[in-house]
Amino acid sequence: MNKHQPHKKDAHKKDEKDVQADAPQQEADETAPEPQADAAQIAALNAEIADLKDKLGRLAADFENYRKRTAQEAAQAQGKGVSQAAEAMMPVYDDLERAMTMGGGDPAKLIPGLQNVQQKLVNIFSGLGLELTGKEGEAFDPQWHEAIQAIPGQHDDVIVQVYQPGFRMGDRMVRPARVIVSKKV
């Protein structure tokens, strides 16, 4: 055997070491994703992100347009309501103007005309859904009435005088009736 030639046993051991050293490299190569697959997946995800951003932008614009449109519709409805209420009250203005010109000579003649105008106005309010509250003899209800004074009387919490009538619309108070109530002594 030659000193310079490795022994066959030693050569075989060296080959096994080389194979074992190369094995982790082969495993790493097998588990590493392919660059082409990554690029395609990234491109697909970027396209999906761009699509979702576009949809989000359109949705935000649609919502902003909806908000503006509903605000405009609400303003138009309010304007229309005010216009209708004013139109309904114009005959009252006309009646008051006639009463002023005709009753200038005798003020006593104004009272029946003003009572008619007042009744016409109450009818207009009724047509708008308003209901008059606070009548003499009615039980005091703090939900609809505001007591401005209490005076001694035979009954407790009964309206004895109406200083200013109130109005309500269904279950909603528009203006409380300002009344004087009796308190039992």
Give me the CATH number covering residue 174: 2.30.22.10
Report pTM: 0.53
Task: For residues 118 and 69, state if they share a domain.
Answer: yes
Task: For residues 49 and 103, state if they share a domain.
Answer: yes
- Residue 154 structural domain: 130-185
Mean pLDDT per segment of 10 residues, for the chain of length 185 residues?
52 52 52 69 94 96 96 92 84 82 75 85 87 91 92 90 91 92 88
Q: Quick check: is 174 in a domain?
A: yes
Instruction: Compute the residue count for the chain.
Output: 185
Q: Quick check: is 172 in a domain?
A: yes
Q: CA-CA distance, 20 to 6, in Å (whole number)?
A: 20
DSSP one-letter code for 142: T
CATH of the domain at 68: 3.90.20.20
**What H or E segment, with its residue span, contains residue 115?**
helix 110-127
Report the domain count for the chain.
2
